[in-house]
């Protein structure tokens, strides 16, 4: 029986590779790089659904990372791999889902995976690093050097050494749990028209695309500052896992709406400085 470890994102899978090698655990890693928290996710099993999602991501890449245009072919290949991974997993295999209960992309990702593999008699196991961090009362040190409790949101946030403890919490998934995830994916997300999703009260929920705009404006000031600083502050304060490209896209929209002023170039992020627009200051 073959074993496959599925992780979500390059950071998570890099941590997994280090851990599995150190622990000498068997199995191959399948890395799904897609961020399920953003963009259209409807009908991903159809060619139209795949194409719609790819075009959305391509537009995001072009708008926020012009330097990546030369790598669009590579991104397209990775995107296609995320859609066809199920073909690489034989029936009867063991699949270990490495995820964070506080990460929207992970939570939608595991539902997508079990839905794609539901006909293959897979033995599913799961490691939830969020639950693990709560179990061990994980803490971090804040800017004022205070020790505070922290819930790890995704595998990408945890050191590989910590995965040894998380591995000990690995649990087999019941048929009822698998059916619940498949139903949630197929009933709520397979036909969803949403473009942005978050976790609230433990559940994945669709929200408007401008959900983060208020936070971006709150972290902006009267003086010009690097857009990356504002984005980093929003990401640091938020309980959500959200990528910098999406937030940069929202900054561009706020500039077009006259709520932010800018100097430099709209992209890439390192060349952009922003401040609150005069009209915003008087609101």
Rounded distance between C-alpha atoms, residue 26 and residue 66, angstroms: 40
Residue 282's pLDDT is: 55
166-204 b/e with 16+ CB inside 10 Å = b?
bbeeeeebeeeebeebbebbeebbbebebebbbbeeeeb
Residue 273's pLDDT is: 97
Residue 69's pLDDT is: 67
Residue 130's pLDDT is: 96
Rounded distance between C-alpha atoms, residue 237 and residue 197, angstroms: 17
Mean pLDDT by 10 residues, the chain (283 residues): 95 96 96 96 93 94 82 83 92 98 97 97 98 94 88 93 95 97 96 96 96 98 97 95 96 97 95 88 57
Residue 60's pLDDT is: 94
Residue 177's pLDDT is: 97
According to DSSP, the residues that pair with 152 across neighbouring strands are none
In 3D, which of 277, 263, 268, 282 has the Cα closest to residue 217?
277
Rounded distance between C-alpha atoms, residue 219 and residue 90, angstroms: 49
Q: Rounded to two decimals, what is the model's pTM?
A: 0.93
Three-state DSSP class for residue 37? coil
Residue 143's pLDDT is: 79
């Amino acid at each position: 029986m073959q074993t496959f470890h599925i992780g979500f994102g390059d950071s998570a899978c890099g941590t997994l590779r280090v851990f599995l090698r150190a622990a000498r655990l068997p199995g191959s890693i399948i890395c799904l790089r897609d961020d399920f928290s953003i963009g259209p996710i409807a009908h991903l099993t159809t060619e139209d659904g795949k194409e719609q999602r790819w075009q959305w991501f391509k537009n995001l890449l072009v708008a926020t990372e012009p330097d990546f245009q030369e790598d669009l072919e590579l991104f397209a290949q990775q995107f296609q791999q995320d859609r066809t991974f199920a073909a690489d997993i034989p029936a009867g295999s063991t699949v270990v889902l490495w995820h964070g209960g506080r990460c929207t992309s992970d939570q939608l990702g595991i539902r997508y995976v079990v839905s794609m593999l539901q006909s293959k008699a897979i033995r599913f196991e799961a490691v939830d690093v969020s639950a693990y961090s709560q179990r061990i009362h994980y803490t971090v040190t804040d800017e004022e050097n205070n020790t505070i409790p922290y819930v790890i949101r995704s595998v990408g946030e945890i050191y590989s050494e910590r995965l040894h403890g998380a591995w000990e919490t690995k649990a087999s998934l019941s048929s009822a749990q698998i059916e619940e995830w498949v139903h949630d994916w197929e009933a709520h997300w397979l036909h969803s028209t949403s473009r942005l999703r978050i976790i609230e009260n433990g559940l994945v929920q669709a929200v408007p695309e401008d959900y983060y705009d208020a936070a971006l404006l709150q972290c902006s000031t009267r003086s010009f500052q690097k857009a990356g600083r504002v984005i980093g502050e929003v990401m640091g304060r938020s309980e959500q896992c959200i990528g910098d490209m999406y937030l940069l896209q929202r900054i561009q929209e706020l500039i077009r709406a006259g709520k932010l002023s800018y100097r430099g170039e709209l992209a890439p992020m390192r060349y952009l400085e922003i401040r609150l627009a005069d009209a915003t200051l008087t609101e």
